[in-house]
Amino acid sequence: MEGLDALTRSLARRTPEQLAALLARHAEPLARRPAPTELRGLASALWSYETLHHLVLHLDHPRLQVLATTARISQERAGRAAPGPAAPAPGADYQSLMAHQLSFAHLATEPVPPEDVFAALGATTGPGRTAAEAALRDLHNDGLAAPTEDGTIVVPPRAPQLLAAHDLGPFLADAPLPAPGGANLPAVSVPPTSPYDESRAAAATLAATVDRLLASLATQPAALRKSGGLAVREIKRLAKAAGATEPHTCLLLDLTLAADLIALTRTPAGITALPTSAYDDWLGRPPGERLAPLLAAWSALWAIPTHTPFGGTPTALVRGHDRHAPALRHALLAASATVPPGAGAPFPALPLAESLAQQEGARTPLEQLLRAADWHRPLAVTRQPMAEDRAAHTLHEAAYLGLVAHGTLTPLGRALLADPQSLDEPLGELLPPLLEQAHFQADLTAVVPGRPAAALAGLLASAADRESEGHAVTWRFTPASVRRALDTGHTADTLLDDLTRASATGTLPQPLGYLVRDAARTHGRMRVLPAACCIRSDDETLVKELAAHRALRDLALRAIAPTVLVSGRPPAATLDALRAAGYAPTLESDTGTTTVERLPAHRTKAPAPTRNPHAPLTLARRLLGLAPEPQEALRTADV
């Protein structure tokens, strides 16, 4: 096991910070194995077949070429030094076949001089040599190659099994350009808006859509099917509440689940999805900080939520198993970053088959982009099934999230490509601060010229109906909407006081004041009793009117006193029927007091953080045999 010894010695020469950086980069595959207790255990984990299978997906062309070439040369030398059993004759028994297949000659176990690798790649001088040396340094840093005492290289023994079947072509020091302006492509007109403007508009729409989606889940949790995932009717309901398409609703549901804003909770009726306690903290953040965890979750999601191949039924909240998806996203964003502003071609429309049929015979912009993306992640782009379809859906998701526009990367997309965990600043520049006040107008509307704060949005939503969405949000006051606010415990005075404080001018238009007081004057003139149930009112004429009303025939109303009616329906159904007929009843408890109706606000416990940000450094010091720093000891004691 000379290779593991060399890797262990290489890891031992690192500083705690360097080793912690390696642990953080490989946190996802290493988390699937028991935590190492010594450096050799970490070396074994890094070179295990399962970890390698994950890590090679995230290697670019130079690093993958250097690793594959080194593994091939090492395998050839190992085969010459210790030949394996001869190939079995046709019809050999199972044991003979396995003995040949598992022979050590199939493993890369011999050290290889770097010069031999560079010569095999044809990268002995110039930019090729520089790129190959940089790739080898990156492999050393990531623990995928280790130097021996005499300067040769050892690589994971299982590398040939992973890479031998892939034809990586000639060594390319630099990524090919997408070349959107090729001879076979139509001329691209200059877009009327910049990528920055498109990104800002997309981010504003995204923030409002996620807000409405989570508010709908807080009011009415979504039930999952017994087989897993949301039913189509639930997706349709949430899409309507959020004002989004069904594929985008599936995308946002998966992102909010990955960001721990919602969780799946088991109840007597089954499994439901509802917001976590972290949602309340999320509501109090600035708009940019709200979107940051969602975009970071998208970059690492093991699924393409809007992609449902072979006519499958779209669903959401299903654990993803597409380990290639994060690498595909990175490759497409990296390739898009090389397209100059104004030179990008529009993405093909979905469904992709119809779009490509119209461009038959020409090399499409998507094919050009995939050719460039292949260099950034060779094993995750065109070498996967349905490559173009998966890429098209990924690009459309990125456009919806404000990461790409007009065929090129937006500033927000470049920030995500550089560091998915540092998006607060670029998002803060895109989305202005939340507004605490609205402009109330004489036509009974309230306009917020931007994103409303949670308190303002809650106040307006309780007393008005949201009418439009965009750069400005508009609510309209109606008798029914004001009655809704009165149902939740407001009086005319308290509602007008709250609206006045929320007014940008400090006053309210006269028509709005008249509307609120007129609604309050008729509100509660009749009361619904929870006694299976009764309607009472001091207005005897009104009681007679209700008893004779044709629209209320289903309630089977009958008078038991000049001021009391008995309904054959429960209190909730009676309230709904009276309000549908244009009346404004209130609910009364059995003690005679008015019952305040409130919309339900469901929450579940937020999951515990999956990763401690200080854990990699603590583990690195432990593996290197160093005592923890004082602040680390305190953090450990707190835990």
- AA identity, residue 259: A
Planar angle of CA 594, 598, 602, nearest 5 degrees: 150
SS3 string, 194-259, reads: CHHHHHHHHHHHHHHHHHHHHHHHHHCCEEECCCCCECHHHHHHHHHHHCCCHHHHHHHHHHHHHC
Cβ 621 vs Cβ 632: under 8 Å: yes
DSSP code of residue 453: P
Tokens (6 digits) for 267 = 């109840």
**Average pLDDT over every residue of 280-290:** 88
Is the sign of the CA dihedral 160, 161, 164, 166 positive or negative?
A: negative
Res. 259 pLDDT band, cuts 50 70 90: very high
263 sits in which H/E element: strand 262-267
**Average pLDDT over every residue of 369-398:** 92
- pLDDT higher than threshold 70 for residue 354: no
**Average pLDDT over every residue of 487-495:** 91
Tokens (6 digits) for 521 = 């004057």
Collect all residues with Cβ–Cβ distance below 8 Å to 1 and sequence separation of at least 6.
none
Tokens (6 digits) for 624 = 């290197």
DSSP code of residue 609: P
Number of neighbouring beta carbons within 10 Å of residue 184: 10
For the ranges 71-80, 109-118, 517-526, 592-601, the lowest mean pLDDT is seen at 592-601
Q: What tens digit of pLDDT does each residue of 514-548 get?
A: 999 999 998 888 777 555 688 999 999 999 999 99
Distance of CA 380 to the CA centre of its chain: 20
Q: What tens digit of pLDDT does each residue of 192-205 get?
A: 778 899 999 999 89
Q: What tens digit of pLDDT does each residue of 394-432 get?
A: 999 999 999 999 889 999 999 999 999 999 899 988 888
Mean pLDDT of the chain: 86
pLDDT at position 346 is 76
Q: Higher-confidence residue: 601 or 22?
A: 22
Query: What are the CA-CA distances from residue 622 to residues 27, 421, 614, 619, 637 (Å)?
Result: 17, 26, 13, 5, 16
For the ranges 159-173, 336-350, 510-524, 566-580, the lowest mean pLDDT is seen at 336-350
Q: What tens digit of pLDDT does each residue of 20-50 get?
A: 999 999 998 998 888 899 999 999 999 998 9
- pLDDT higher than threshold 70 for residue 358: no
Do the bridges between strand 473-476 and strand 564-566 make them parallel or antiparallel, or are there none, so unpaired? unpaired
Res. 587 pLDDT band, cuts 50 70 90: confident
- AA identity, residue 442: A
Res. 639 pLDDT band, cuts 50 70 90: very low
Res. 182 pLDDT band, cuts 50 70 90: very low
Q: What tens digit of pLDDT does each residue of 290-346 get?
A: 999 999 999 999 999 999 887 777 889 998 889 999 999 999 999 999 988 777 777
User: Of all residues in the chain, what percent carry a pLDDT higher than 90?
Assistant: 56
Exposed/middle/buried for residue 295 (C-beta within 10 Å: 0-12, 13-18, 19+): buried
User: Of all residues in the chain, what percent carry a pLDDT higher than 70?
Assistant: 87
Q: Higher-confidence residue: 73 or 532?
A: 73
Planar angle of CA 463, 603, 436, nearest 5 degrees: 40
- pLDDT higher than threshold 60 for residue 162: yes
Cβ 170 vs Cβ 79: under 8 Å: no
User: What is the reported pTM?
Assistant: 0.78
Domain ranges of the chain: 1-164, 193-351+365-428, 439-522, 533-581
pLDDT at position 114 is 96
Cβ 96 vs Cβ 88: under 8 Å: yes
- AA identity, residue 31: A
**Average pLDDT over every residue of 207-231:** 91
pLDDT at position 597 is 67
Do the bridges between strand 153-154 and strand 270-275 make them parallel or antiparallel, or are there none, so unpaired? unpaired
**Average pLDDT over every residue of 545-558:** 90
Query: What are the CA-CA distances from residue 365 to residues 206, 352, 354, 390 (Å)?
Result: 27, 13, 15, 15
Planar angle of CA 170, 171, 173, nearest 5 degrees: 140
SS3 string, 433-448, reads: CCECCEEECCCCEEEE
- pLDDT higher than threshold 50 for residue 184: no
pLDDT at position 183 is 38
- AA identity, residue 297: A
**Average pLDDT over every residue of 562-581:** 90
Bridge partners, residue 435, by sequence: 452
Query: What are the CA-CA distances from residue 88 to residues 100, 105, 455 (Å)?
Result: 7, 15, 76
In a 3-state reduction of DSSP, which class is residue 389? helix
Number of neighbouring beta carbons within 10 Å of residue 34: 8
Q: Higher-confidence residue: 268 or 210?
A: 210
Query: What are the CA-CA distances from residue 70 to residues 143, 157, 165 (Å)?
Result: 14, 11, 15
Closest listed residue to residue 498, CA positions, set 530, 464, 528, 536: 464
- Cα(19)–Cα(611) distance, integer angstroms: 17
Res. 148 pLDDT band, cuts 50 70 90: very high
